[in-house]
Structure 1
Amino acid sequence: MAAVLFDFSGTLFRVETTESWLRAVLAETGRVLSETELISTAQALEEAGALPGGAVPVELPPDLTDLWAVRDESAELHRAAYTALSRRVPLPDPGLHDALYERHMSPAAWTPYPDAAEVLRALRERGIGVGVVSNIGWDLRPVFREHGLDPYVDTYVLSYEHGVQKPDPRLFSVACEALGADPRQVLMVGDSRPADGGATALGCRVHFVDHLPVAKRPDALLPVLELMR
């Protein structure tokens, strides 16, 4: 195997909880909710699927179906989709919906899985190319830099920068070309069978991990090192 491609959210990093997300924005903006209101609002935001990288909507509003399907194809579509979901939930200030969206793009909102650095470092030491292929609407590179993982990544292929999203094989093809790797010698690691499984169309092998909280998934990436022997 010549290279490994990793998904971002739910694979290498996990976004903060919806409650933490809301608390952070309220603190940043000086807005106040009672503890009871905060918890109920966070729950409503989670059910709405308003936190990118968090839970999917319990029930997607019919008027957002088309937008949701292409949300990762551009920065504008991504913001429109998630702020539309957020606005289904009343907040003390309408401006908080945009503030919430901005918060989720900050490095502070993301935590790497415990074994992410170890695995990426080991791959680099073995001379194996590493790419990040993500369905996303914003630049995640600062997250990797802030958490010290950027030195281990050779290329980033982000859906919004290419106008296509996984499982479209074109996104995986761009990553393989950037790494100079034959797709048949590439492993794709992700948490979504429908999205990340698209790499098989090129002949890539695929390894799946569970999208779990950081504390509940300490070593799911370690098998990657065995697969690359």
Structure 2
Amino acid sequence: MPGDRASAFDAVLVDWRGTLALPLAPERWVTAALGGLGRPASPVDAAPVLERLEAVDADARLGTAGMDADPALHRRIFMEVLADAGLDSALAEALYRVESDPGNDGFADDVPAFLARTRAAGIRIVLVSDIHVDVRPRFHAAGLSPYVDAYALSCEHGAEKPDPRLFEAALHMAGSRPDEAVMVGDRHTHDGGAAALGVTTLILPPLRAATDRRLHLAEALLYGR
């Protein structure tokens, strides 16, 4: 097993959404919000909401730089976009609640084994995420918190990837030098910022389904296979 083999690295910095967890699909996001309000929540019911969001370029606007480093800014921009889309306040609040609940992001099937093997090999694990809420409860609920040594979250450090400050915080938490760590993520524009510090960086294809298996590539890097 990989966990039984020596590694040239002593820490793994790993991204959350897109790498370990499957981001909530837009249709499921809207149907969950509608259902939470007791409204009709079929894909047909979600379609007009998604059309309104597309009309105001919500996807791009909700990715505004700096949002995940400031929870108050995140909420303000989010609610402005939903208001511009003409959504009523109750639905806007419901959409924000659903998007802000990491419990709605499912782990990929290979995550538990990857985390367990990495820990068994004596390699420290730090989650590095651009996110406006605390993801620790999600790991606890999934029984995975014993495998994670620390969490470097943008909302707690006032910096988001590719800002080197977030990676520096993660390295400090791991007690590792840049050359002793590996960063595993799914966006070169963000996770690739670790490379500027001298951290070996692996960019995986973003998760599209829970059954996608990507993390064996990280193990191959860790153990030189």
Structure 2 match to 1:227? 221
Instruction: Tell me, yes or no, if the aligned pair for 2:12 and 2:183 is still in contact at 8 Å.
Output: yes
Counting only pairs closer than 5 Å after superposition, residues 101-140 of structure 1 correspond to structure 2 as: 101-140=96-135
Structure 1 match to 2:40? 32
The alpha carbon displacement at 1:148 in A equals 2.2
- The percent of aligned pairs where both chains have the same amino acid is 37
Structure 2 match to 1:167? 162
Distance in 1 separating the partners of 2:19 and 2:182: 14
Q: Deviations over 1:166-214 (max 9, x none)?
A: 1111111111111111111100011111111111121100001122322
Q: Where do 5+ consecutive residues of structure 1 fail to align?
A: 51-55
| Greater Cα shift, 29-38 or 142-151 | 29-38
Distance in 1 separating the partners of 2:124 and 2:47: 43
Instruction: Tell me, yes or no, if the aligned pair for 2:182 and 2:199 is still in contact at 8 Å.
Output: yes
Structure 2 match to 1:53? none
The SS at the match of 1:145 is helix
The SS at the match of 1:137 is coil
RMSD of aligned alpha carbons: 2.2
| Greater Cα shift, 101-110 or 124-133 | 101-110
Aligned residue pair count = 215
Distance in 2 separating the partners of 1:127 and 1:108: 28
The alpha carbon displacement at 1:77 in A equals 1.2
Matched residue type, 1:73:
A
Residue in structure 2 matching 1:17, options 25, 31, 40: 25
Structure 1 match to 2:66? 70
Residue in structure 2 matching 1:5, options 13, 34, 46: 13
Instruction: Tell me, yes or no, if the aligned pair for 2:127 and 2:148 is still in contact at 8 Å.
Output: yes
The SS at the match of 1:174 is helix
Matched residue type, 1:85:
V
Change (3 A) 1:107 1:188: same
Distance in 1 separating the partners of 2:173 and 2:187: 23
Matched residue type, 2:220:
E
| Greater Cα shift, 37-46 or 163-172 | 37-46
Instruction: Tell me, yes or no, if the aligned pair for 1:135 and 1:165 is still in contact at 8 Å.
Output: yes
Change (3 A) 1:204 1:90: same
Change (3 A) 1:35 1:167: closer
Q: Deviations over 1:110-132 (max 9, x none)?
A: 10111111111110110100001
Change (3 A) 1:155 1:33: closer
Q: Where do 5+ consecutive residues of structure 2 fail to align?
A: 1-8
The SS at the match of 1:214 is coil
Are residue 153 (structure 1) and residue 161 (structure 2) matched?
no
Instruction: Tell me, yes or no, if the aligned pair for 2:161 and 2:193 is still in contact at 8 Å.
Output: yes
Structure 1 match to 2:83? 87
Distance in 2 separating the partners of 1:176 and 1:34: 45
Instruction: Tell me, yes or no, if the aligned pair for 2:52 and 2:86 is still in contact at 8 Å.
Output: no
The alpha carbon displacement at 1:47 in A equals 6.8
Instruction: Provide TM-score, normalisation by structure 1.
Output: 0.85
Moved over 6 A (4+): none
